[in-house]
Amino acid sequence: MRPLRGIDTLASLVGPATLGNSAERHAGSGADPRSNRVHANADTTAARSGYLAGDPPRPPLATGVEINADTKPPRLLDQVRARMRRLGLAIRSEEAYVGWIRRYILANGKRHPQELGAHELEAFLTDLAVRGQVAASTQNQALSALLFLYREVLGKELPWLDNIRRAKRPERLPTVLSREETRLLLGELTGVCWLQASLLYGSGLRLLECLRLRVQDIDFTRREVMVRHGKGGKDRRTMLPTSLEAPLRGQMAEAQRLHERDLELGFGAVWLPDALARKYPNAPREWAWQYVFPASQRSIDPRSGIERRHHLDESVLQRAVKAAARRTGLGKPATCHTLRHSFATHLLEGSNSSLETYP
């Protein structure tokens, strides 16, 4: 890629970009996009140059394109996306890294990163901490994105990269609910939100692990839940509370009716990971691959541009749990992940109560 000089147009530097559409909120991530939508309001000036988000979902990156004198080299942010997809990183990581790299370029007068050095990078991170007042974890995420840019995309192993210090993250203890508080919280939830929250507590699932469950991941005979491609890309099995079997069967029956309706309309193909859709062309429409908690509406996959039904957006349960915690007056910052911490704590306390699900 030819080095770009300071006043090269921003469009030639980064090209059109989007921060995605709910698809890691709505289609295609991590374990599943590797999914779901992130909406962002574009800066007016940058939007005119085709730089920030707000564009329609981007088409898949071109592959197998021969570069010659008449073919323009890939734009920088497209190179970042291509490298992250080559390494199998989640769509949410891709969205976050592209967003930070974009902000870094804008903060330095749209200069190419190859022209920038340790001083500019430190100034950018310092500005985030002092003026932006962001948390240490946010600073470290921005640093990780920029290190990825220099090392993986630009192929630069610069000595000063190793001298950039990460912000120190404070050590905090997680919020844990008592058994009575858990009963009160779950008692304020209804319908699908109650079932999902009960799985978080009764099976110790993370939020997206629950939402990404597929029909084949539920084993009623062995009373097990298979978590595929969880944190760190690892699979694991966990228990399925007996009291959740009937509600879960009812939810799967409703999901099947929705799937059959999609098939009648010419849809019904779900996203599959790792090119399984090409290896098994009929698998995306098979019942076993469908989500247990499908979204109420179909959406556009931000990577492929295909309209399909993804799983429910995580914000639905997040808002419901937050509202339930407020109504119960717990006086604790209870979230979806609090239920997972409570599951682990109650197991360690030697009680079987965490294997039960409260009304």
What DSSP element (H or E) covers 325?
Answer: helix 314-328
Question: 338, 204 in Cβ contact below 8 A?
Answer: no
Q: Write down the pLDDT at residue 322.
A: 94
Structural domain spans, the chain: 10-163, 179-314
- Start-to-end C-alpha separation, the chain: 60
Token pair 């003026």 is found at 131
Highest mean pLDDT among 87-96, 160-169, 286-295: 286-295
pLDDT per residue as tens digits for the range 238-289: 999 999 999 999 999 999 999 999 999 999 999 998 778 889 999 999 999 9
Q: Residues with Cβ < 8 Å from 289, sequence gap 6 or more?
A: 214, 215, 216, 270, 272, 283
Helix (H, G, I), strand (E, B) or coil at 137: helix
Q: Write down the pLDDT at residue 70.
A: 55
Q: Does the model's pTM come out above 0.85?
A: no
pLDDT per residue as tens digits for the range 62-96: 444 444 445 677 899 999 999 998 888 888 899 99
Residue 231 neighbours by CB distance under 10 Å: 12
Kindly tell me if the per-residue pLDDT of 192 is higher than 60: yes
Distance from C-alpha of 336 to C-alpha of 208, rounded to nearest angstrom: 10
Q: Write down the pLDDT at residue 351.
A: 53
The fold for domain 179-314 equals: hpI Integrase; Chain A (1.10.443)
The fold for domain 10-163 equals: DNA polymerase; domain 1 (1.10.150)
DSSP 153: I
Burial class (CB in 10 A: 0-12, 13-18, 19+), 169: exposed
Distance from C-alpha of 101 to C-alpha of 52, rounded to nearest angstrom: 11
